[in-house]
Chain A
Amino acid sequence: MEALTFLNAAFFGVVGLAAGIFVGAVPGLNAAIGIALLLPFTFTMDPTVSLIFLGAIFTGGIYGGAITAIIANVPGAPSNIATCFDGYPMAQKGQAQEAIYSATIAHATGGVFGVIALLLLAPPLAELALKFGPAESFWTYMFGLTIVASLAPGALLKGVLACIFGLLLSTVGLSPVTGIPRFTFGAGDLVGGVNLIAALLGFFGFAQGILLLEADQAVQEAKFRPRSGVFTIVFGNIFLRMYALVLGSATIGLIIGILPGAGASVAALVAYAEAKNFSRHRQKFGTGIPEGVVAPEAANSACVGGDLIPTLTLGIPGSPAAAVMMGGLIVHGLVPGPALFTDHASITYNFMYGMLIAQLLLIPMGCFGATLVARTLNVRPAILGAAILVLSVFGAYAATSHISGVMVMLSCGLVTYLWIKLDIPVAPAVLGLILGKGIEDSFMTSLQLGDASGSVFAYFFTRPIAVVLILLCVASFAASLFLEYRVQKKSTGMKVA
């Protein structure tokens, strides 16, 4: 990397991390929303710098909520729910600083573990993906779609519906087969398709802005005053006494991150439960012990690296944040898949090294910026909501330089708002929009190649890698149905009780 680019990357890495921590700390916002809102600022950036910036927002966004979870029992994002269990009781005992430092150091360590795994596992997986033909690509995309149920627990039908909406949105514009315009209704601006950034800003920014305006309430007073000398004690405690817990939790986070669908919140909850099960003093969990903070934070952070493995190598985003991150790659002309590791290897590796540095930077920024982060709870939701609406409008226009971008953003935003009211999850729609073009392209090419080779059926269903992928699809879908059944059963049980 050139010196100037390096300095730029370092600067935007720090800015992205700070923005991510802020977004993660504010209740109602999360990493996906942060990436979507700040994506328009990367248009003129060098792709490497831009990806490092977005990656830093992702990292900070998963972490930020830990601070508010500990200080005020308000998890900024779902990934920090488990951190509340012991973090808040620690704060009530006057150990808020110890809890925040434990969370930060564990988060950074888990994050480094996740990114190292990404560096080691992504290249061989990308090499395997190079052997994929159109049929294998089609089944890989279908595998990506089977995570819909995981993105919509308890609402499988609505999740599938949202996914179909996203897939249909991806068909707007020129047909990949003969190049005729589809669903443009005479609007020339839609010939190029639905602008991804404008749609993402609608899905994640505009709707969330309205919700924050609606939920306007009195601000909470959150104060935190650090003492000196605590960092060294906590640091020593984690690396000498809790290293096995950190590694175990990070491994859980990594595995859950690689599996499409189950995100950082699931990883944190599973790691917390496992830490409790394996602990010699499990009865103390929930009363305010550092182990209860370290386990979920190490896991949700390692999940980021795991999440990026299928995203970068196969083009299958494992979580909403990874899906938006993938949108960021596409905007810069980088199509996720094996080509990232061959044609754009330097950008990809610099991005991964940047993620590694971002994890390390979390320690000083998280520990010494906690006082500032705690103040995010003092921000009035209505002002934040209005600012998000304004940013969405500016971003949508910047993405298209035309009113059509704002209209796409507005339409997607209003649809998403209605969906939230009807309990329809938005993440499957984003997944459909991002994967749609790839699915149609690979399906049509496979049909043509199958026809040319004599048997479409054989081309789709009998190639060895395709068979493995079909089995994975079936297993993933069955697991999703099982999950749906369990959620329904649990909710019925709760209603009866």
Chain B
Amino acid sequence: MKEQSTANLLLGLFVIIVSVAMYQVAETFEGDARDRAFPQLLLILAVVIGVALITREFWKTKKLFALSWSLPFSRRQVSIIIVSSIYPIAAFWLGFYSSAFLFLTIFPWIILKTAPGVSQLDREREGLRSFIMGMASAGLFVGFLYVSFWHLLRILFPQGIWV
């Protein structure tokens, strides 16, 4: 709950800062006032919402010093976000189909969670089973994508290092 309040406070502050900055950007538009009117009106509204969010959180929490400043992300979550964000960019270097195959095979295997209390042997067996399943489903899925996009829709994707 405290984490949510902190996050809301930070969100309110972030909205205000970004909105003010974007308002200044809108001021630099080359056209006349009508080009700026709609986005600037929206940005003013965003500032109002940001202020309302902050005010509400202060009102709700009462004790400011009770706020917690930790963010609700575990190390596992952060690594999933980072790899998921890198994959779309890496696809342009590795080629779409090959990167998809690698991503689908390796990533679910790496993040596999085993139940606590499972023996090392069982864990290794489950890992191997997961890897083989991942590779098989990756092969099928990438094959489906290849047939759909390349043969049926005639859409070309970057081939990266394979050119």
A residues adjacent to B (C-beta < 8 A): 41, 43-44, 157-158, 160-161, 164-165, 167-168, 171, 175, 177-180, 182-183, 206, 209-210, 213-214, 216-218, 380, 382-383, 385-387, 389-391, 393-394, 396-398, 401, 403, 406, 409-410, 414, 417, 421-424, 439-440, 443-444, 447
Contacts and interface: CB of A to CB of B under 8 A. Distances in A.
Q: Is the interface of A mostly helix, strand, loop or mixed?
A: helix
Given A41-B153, A394-B149, A383 B25 contact: no
Given A168-B42, A380-B133, A383-B137, A214 B80 contact: yes
B31 A178 contact: yes
Given A177-B34, A180-B29, A180-B30, A390 B148 contact: no
B4 interface: yes
A406 B88 contact: yes
Given A206-B84, A397-B158, 13 more contacts: A44-B154, A157-B56, A161-B53, A175-B35, A177-B35, A178-B35, A180-B31, A216-B112, A383-B108, A387-B137, A398-B153, A401-B155, A421-B73
Contact of B34 (A178, A382, A422, A439): A178
B49 A182 contact: no
A178 B32 contact: yes
Contacts of B73: 421
A216 B92 contact: no
Given A178-B31, A210-B84, A390 B25 contact: no
23 contacts: A160-B49, A161-B15, A161-B46, A161-B49, A180-B29, A183-B22, A183-B26, A206-B84, A209-B84, A210-B84, A213-B107, A214-B80, A382-B107, A389-B87, A394-B96, A394-B145, A397-B158, A401-B155, A410-B88, A422-B7, A422-B8, A440-B38, A444-B38
B32 A414 contact: no
B93 to A, nearest CB: 11
Nearest to B40: A171
B103 A386 contact: yes
Contacts of A447: 34
Most buried by B among A160, A164, A167: A164
Contacts of B117: none
Most buried by B among A164, A386, A393: A386
B120 interface: no
Nearest to A161: B49
A164 B103 CA distance: 35
B42 A393 contact: no
Nearest to B1: A495
Q: How many B residues are at the interface, by size bracket?
A: 35 or more
Nearest to A43: B153
A432 B154 CA distance: 33
A180 B56 contact: no
A214 B79 CA distance: 10
Contact of B157 (A168, A213, A397, A414): A397
B132 interface: no
Nearest to B11: A422
Given A44-B154, A178-B32, A210 B81 contact: yes
B91 A393 contact: yes
Nearest to B92: A403
Nearest to A417: B81
Contacts of A217: 113
Contacts of A386: 103-104, 107-108
Interface string B16-43: 0000001001100111101100110011
A443 B32 CA distance: 16
Nearest to B97: A394
Interface in B47-102: 49-50, 52-53, 56, 72-73, 76-77, 80-81, 84-85, 87-89, 91-92, 96, 100
Given A164-B46, A389-B103, A390-B141, A44 B11 contact: no
A380 to B, nearest CB: 7
A444 B92 CA distance: 41
A41 B144 CA distance: 12
Given A386-B108, A410-B88, A393 B96 contact: yes
B108 A393 contact: no
B111 A216 contact: yes
B42 to A, nearest CB: 5
B145 A443 contact: no
Contacts of B137: 383, 387
Contact of A409 (B25, B35, B88, B148): B88
A440 B34 CA distance: 10
B77 A214 contact: yes
